[in-house]
A and B are shown apart, each in its own frame.
Chain A
Amino acid sequence: MTSDTATTPVSVPRTGFPSIPWIELFKHAVLMVGALIVIAPFLVMVSTSFKSQNEIESQSGGFFGSQEQFVDHFCAANNPAEECVATPVIFNYSTAFTRVPLLRFLLNGVIVTVSIFVCQVIIALPCAYALSKLRWWGKNVVFGLVLFCLLIPIHAIAVPLYLLITKLGLLNTYASLIIPSTISVFGIFLMRQFFMTVPDDLIDAARMDGISEFGIVWRVMAPTAFPALLAFGIFSVVAHWNDYFWPRMVVTGNEMIYTPPLGMRVYQADLEGITYGPMMATATVIVIPLVIAFLLAQRRFIEGITLSGMK
């Protein structure tokens, strides 16, 4: 594509025509095949969410479906047929929101992820500050403990935590979804590393101005650490929005506190005679918020999600 510009390091033969960069084209071909496989489920998901059940079963209708109106038989059983005429895309998405309280699931997702992140920050920042900028007896022991706990994946302590939640009578509550994640040793570690790079002069100046230690944490250190906090926030929110393992353990009934991933289970339960259109519409609604956020701020997201690479 750009092989005819002067800046590319492609050798230009005497004829004046640029040589075809075969190697570059070959690389693109290989990557394109890979990209197609990677992106295929996303395309299938969106495309299917546009189609009517007939088009899905006969694998016709192109990417967006023909959007031909059809009669919803489920509705027509109790209502006059003319009231039950629907356009596939509208039918799929409205069914996604009415068959299960999907909006409520999304709201729950927001409540849980935001609460977890806020708790993690409130608990991690003062500790990270103490570990990086204050001198006290026992500091190395605490930091050693933090480093050790970095090794413990939540999966490894899930059963005892589940017992704890059960014994406290917290099954099927927001608390059961939030409490186990309120402590992020990774957050402490990350913020401590970042605070180490903040010059002591800044803190001394704040002390001269009569700001309390508490004030220093929240009014001096926190704003300075904004980039690190943002990266950690993305890391935390993405991980908990997508988390399925822990909610699956502690939410057994009560649909009203389902998080979005649990919402997919409703469709798993009745795969026979399923309506794939609404199912794919639900999947699209759950996946799309993070994908859009990612497309808008790619660098930040990649930085945030690969944060665990800093251990």
Chain B
Amino acid sequence: MANSGTQARAIPYLFSLPALLLILALLLLPMLISLGLSLTDYTLGAPDVEFVWFENFERIFTRSTYMKMLSATFWYVIIVVPGSIALGLGAALLINSLTVGKGFYRTVFFLPVMATLVAMAMVWEFMLHPTLGIVNEGLEGLCAVPGITAIGFFETGCADGFPHWLGERETALWVLCFIGIWQAVGFNMVLYMAGLTAIPRELYNAASVDGADSAWDRFRLVTWPMLGPTNVFVLTITAIRSFQAFDTVDMLTEGGPSKSTYVIMYAIFEKGVQQNLIGVGTAITVLFMAFVFLLTFLQRYLVERRVHYA
């Protein structure tokens, strides 16, 4: 009996051992290695390694390549996050208030979330092709509309041709942001739809008793405050996902033209893997991890401090 008791006591450890080992080997250790290597000039195949301390980080904050990386990442996140959240919330509110067709719109808007992004990136590239693509063809068609050349964009576009989108420094990042938003809207919409159904109907009745009659009043006084937890969650997850943008960059621009789309995840890949500059690659990784942890702690803080209504 004593033997079987010992066995029973060992069972929880046996059950969690494989998971624990893998967590250590594939998650915690690599993270520590990242931290360690970021302070060195390590490269694969080099005979010796030297500690360079914060030289890699210093480089990130002084060299123009990395300044461009920070700026591209910043603009990508700052455009995609509010864009996809606003459109996701808007779509959720509109769809939720419909009498017919809810399921149809939900399905359509969710399609890009499912679809393989690299394949769809190639389709967007084809659509944005300067001569064959339907985007510029459509824009040229609009030139026939009288008075449209009053808009600056069309004035230059109709006269000198429309942008080469992915080939130009001024537009490439915008295109990637657009594709990023295109993909994320459906995801955010579904989260908001779940958040909306969780709002008790009585609150709207109570608000209307108190004189909140217009749709805007209902939104301002009931919907928006009650969506607090959903907002915080959607904001964090969209931000973290935007920081991870890689597929479209590698497929469509490879960081160019002139580093205008050199986002952080592509920089990690290019430095750490393609150019074998492990030290710099891991230093950028550490920076990325800092962003992610910061965002998550901000989320936890907000959830605990401000957004508990229900």
Enumerate chain A interface residues (CB-CB to B < 8 A). 1-2, 8-9, 24, 27-28, 30-31, 34-35, 37-42, 44-45, 48, 56-57, 59, 122-124, 126-127, 129-131, 134-136, 138-139, 142, 145-146, 149, 151-153, 155-164, 166, 179-180, 182-183, 185, 188, 213, 217, 238, 241-242, 244-245, 248-249, 260-261, 264-265, 267-268, 276, 279-280, 282-283, 286-287, 290-291, 294-295, 298, 301-302, 305-306, 308-309
A156 & B288 in contact (Cβ 8 Å cutoff):
yes
Q: B269–A38 contact, CB under 8 A?
A: no
Judging by beta carbons under 8 Å apart, are B98 and A24 in contact? yes
B132 nearest CB across to chain A (Å): 6
B137 within 8 A of A: yes
A-B contact pairs, 19 of them (CB 8 A): A2-B99, A8-B99, A35-B109, A40-B134, A41-B123, A139-B12, A153-B240, A155-B288, A158-B268, A158-B269, A159-B282, A160-B33, A264-B251, A268-B251, A276-B126, A287-B116, A302-B106, A302-B190, A306-B194
B296:A44 contact, CB within 8 angstroms: no
C-alpha spacing A78/B9, complex, angstroms = 74
Q: Majority SS of interface residues in chain A?
A: helix
Known pairs A160-B34, A162-B273, A287-B115; A185 contacts B23 (CB<8 A): yes
Give the CA-CA distance A265 to B120 in the complex, in Å: 12
**Smallest CB separation, A86 vs chain B (Å):** 21
User: Is the beta-carbon distance between B27 and A157 smaller than 8 angstroms?
Assistant: yes
A-B complex: 7 closest residue pairs judged by Cβ atoms: A160-B30, A126-B15, A183-B22, A127-B19, A136-B12, A157-B30, A159-B272
Q: How far is the CB of A68 from chain B (nearest CB, A)?
A: 19
For the complex, what is the distance from the CA of A295 to the CA of B103, rounded to whole Å?
A: 11
Stretch at the interface among B50-58, B179-187, B205-213, B218-226: B179-187
Min CB distance, B131 to chain A, in Å? Answer: 9
Contacts of B108 in A (CB 8 A): 35, 38-39
Q: Which of B22, B29, B233 has the most CB of A within 10 A?
A: B22
Per-position binary interface string of chain B over residues 98-117, scored 1 when its CB falls under 8 Å from any chain A CB and 0 otherwise: 11110101111111111111
Assess whether B13 is interfacial by the CB under 8 Å rule. Answer: yes
* B237 contacts the other chain (CB 8 A): yes
Complex Cα gap A188–B247 (Å): 28
Our pick among A126, A145, A159, A260 for the contact of B116 (Cβ within 8 Å) is A260
Q: Is the CB of B194 within 8 A of A130?
A: no
The reply to whether A161 and B119 form a contact with Cβ atoms under 8 Å apart is no
- Cα separation A24 to B251 with both chains bound (whole Å): 40
User: Judging by beta carbons under 8 Å apart, are B115 and A42 in contact?
Assistant: yes
Contact present for A188 and B19 (CB under 8 Å): yes
Q: How far is the CA of A239 from the CA of B215 in the complex (A)?
A: 38
Known: A35-B108, A35-B109, A244-B246. A156 touches B18 (CB 8 A): no
Asked if B71 is an interface residue, CB under 8 A from chain A, the answer is: no
* A193 smallest CB distance to B (angstroms): 15
Q: Which of B11-38 contact A (CB under 8 A)?
A: 11-16, 18-20, 22-23, 26-31, 33-34, 37
A31 contacts B113, CB within 8 Å?
A: no
Cβ–Cβ < 8 Å partners of B268 in chain A: 155, 158-159
| A127 contacts across to B, CB distance below 8 A | 15-16, 18-20
Bound together, the chains give a CA A139 to CA B250 distance in angstroms of: 42
Residues of A within 8 A of B247 (CB): 244-245, 261
The yes or no answer to B80 lying at the interface (CB within 8 A) is no
* Known interface pairs A59-B134, A159-B273, A306-B187; A126-B16 also in contact (CB < 8 Å): yes
Q: Give A127 to B23 CA distance when docked, in angstroms.
A: 12
**Is B281 part of the binding interface, using a Cβ–Cβ cutoff of 8 Å?**
yes
In the bound complex, residues from chain A placing their C-beta under 8 Å from that of B293 are 151
| Chain A residues with CB under 8 A of B112 | 38
Contact across chains for B185 and A183 when beta carbons are under 8 A apart: no
For A185, the chain B residues whose CB sits under 8 A away are: 23, 27
A151 touches B94 (CB 8 A): no
Question: For the complex, what is the distance from the CA of A292 to the CA of B183, rounded to whole Å?
Answer: 18
* Nearest CB of A to B153, in Å: 18
Check B123–A45 contact: CB distance below 8 A.
yes
Residues in A neighbouring B91, C-beta threshold 8 A: 31, 34
Interface centre among A9, A163, A241, A265 (most CB of B within 10 A): A163
The verdict on A2 contacting B100 (CB below 8 Å), with A41-B124, A123-B19, A159-B272 known, is: yes
Residue contact B116 to A286, C-beta cutoff 8 Å: yes
Establish whether residues B15 and A149, one from each chain, have CB atoms under 8 Å apart when the complex forms.
Answer: no
Residues of B contacting A149 in the complex (Cβ-Cβ under 8 angstroms):
23, 27-28
Nearest-neighbor residue (CB-CB) of A133 within chain B? B12
Whether A159 lies near B278 (C-beta < 8 A) is yes
- The answer on a CB contact under 8 Å between B19 and A31 is no
B148 at the interface (CB under 8 A from A): no
